Amino acid sequence: MNPKYAVLVLIISSIGWGITWLPIKLINEMGLDSMQLILIAFSSGAIVSLPWLFKQHARWKSSLGFMLMIGIAGGFANSAFQTAIVHGDVIRVMILFYMLPVWSVIGGRIFLQEQIDRFRLSAVVLCLAGAAIILDVWNTSWQGISWIDLLAIGSGLGLAATNILFRFTQTIPLMSKISVTFIGCTVIIGAFLGTSTTSAALPGNQAIPLAMLYGAIWIMLITIGTQWAVTKMEAGRSSIILVMELVVAVVSAAIISNAQLGMNEMIGGAMVIGAALVEGMRGDDETVPKVSDSSVG
């Protein structure tokens, strides 16, 4: 396989993630409640991926514990991210979500025994400082942090955990792991709606079919594209390309929705992007388990 194809797939997938806020906002504005939107989208994706999960059962049945952890981590990451995007400012959410260098470095050290060299330490410090500037903690004494901010940060933490689990479980087929993340999100949102005392009526327009297509096609394809592509190239190279997700989100939100960037968000966002680039350019750690044997089929 020509590595250029993996680069192209990852670029397209990153662009897809970067503008994923657009269909979420549009469908929500059509009257579909955020929790219902996420449930319909991810249950649709789960149904589409079920054939692979059943087909590959023999290859993951001895790793039920890991599959459960992937479902919880991936399900939470997607639930938190989608909810934060619906209710929050796209640029702020995306920047806080992209604190991935912090969680990836910490998780890589704990679970994958990756070394924290000066480049990784500088990435963590830069990322944390950028997030503190965005949240303006010096002037608000942490009181300015909203539940949406916490969801955005938590979704990045959940994704970092999911990525570590994907890398650690080399023998489990890729599509099985993707399927269980969609199922995990469906279960988490379904449980929340089941215990909620209020539920909005479903709209009678095209919102529900669009939510189904969004989950079964858009989210499914960019998830497969991202996870497949990162297994075909060096981790450092893929990390740099994935920064496009944040850049595309910020630029598209600024152009399409006329979102305004405050000075703290511009400075903090630049620092978070810088942290991702520092982590990406540091190169690969040869002690990190490779995932090139994960397969789609």
Confidence class for position 288, pLDDT limits 50, 70, 90: very low
Q: What is the pLDDT of residues 110-144, one digit of tens each?
A: 766 766 667 767 777 777 777 777 766 666 555 66
How far apart, in whole angstroms, are the C-alpha atoms of residue 189 and residue 197?
14
Q: What is the pLDDT of residues 210-228, one digit of tens each?
A: 999 999 999 999 999 988 8
Confidence check: pLDDT of 57 > 90: yes
Confidence check: pLDDT of 247 > 90: no
Tell me the three-class secondary structure of 103-128, residue by residue: HHHHHHHHHHCCCCCHHHHHHHHHHH
* Average pLDDT across the chain, whole number: 80
Among 90-99, 185-194, 285-294, the minimum mean pLDDT is found in: 285-294
So what's the pLDDT on residue 101? 63
- Of 230 and 157, the one with more pLDDT: 157
So what's the pLDDT on residue 290? 43
Where are the extended beta strands (E) located within 36-126?
none
How far apart, in whole angstroms, are the C-alpha atoms of residue 137 and residue 237?
33
Please state the domain extents for the chain. 3-196+207-281
Confidence class for position 60, pLDDT limits 50, 70, 90: very high
So what's the pLDDT on residue 293? 42
How far apart, in whole angstroms, are the C-alpha atoms of residue 70 and residue 184?
8
* Count of residues making up the chain: 297
Q: Tell me what the mean pLDDT of segment 253-279 comes to.
A: 72
Confidence check: pLDDT of 71 > 60: yes
- The overall pTM is greater than 0.85: no
77, two tokens: 């990451």
Where are the extended beta strands (E) located within the chain?
none
82, two tokens: 């989608």
Name the residue among 154, 149, 168, 158 with its Cα closest to residue 231.
168
- Of 281 and 71, the one with more pLDDT: 71
Residue 129 phi/psi, 5° resolution?
-65, -40
Confidence class for position 286, pLDDT limits 50, 70, 90: very low
Q: Tell me what the mean pLDDT of segment 74-98 comes to.
A: 86
Give the amino acid at 209: P
CA angle centred on 229, ends 107 and 234, rounded to 5°: 60
Q: Are 250 and 277 in contact (CB under 8 A)?
A: no
So what's the pLDDT on residue 125? 79
Q: Tell me what the mean pLDDT of segment 195-204 comes to.
A: 72
How far apart, in whole angstroms, are the C-alpha atoms of residue 82 and residue 101?
20
Residues 6 or more apart whose CB falls under 8 angstroms from that of 152 comprise 80, 81, 84, 88, 92, 93, 94, 96, 97
Enter the DSSP assignment of 62. Answer: G
Q: Which value, to the nearest 10 degrees, does the dihedral of the CA atoms of residues 75, 80, 83, 85 take? A: -120
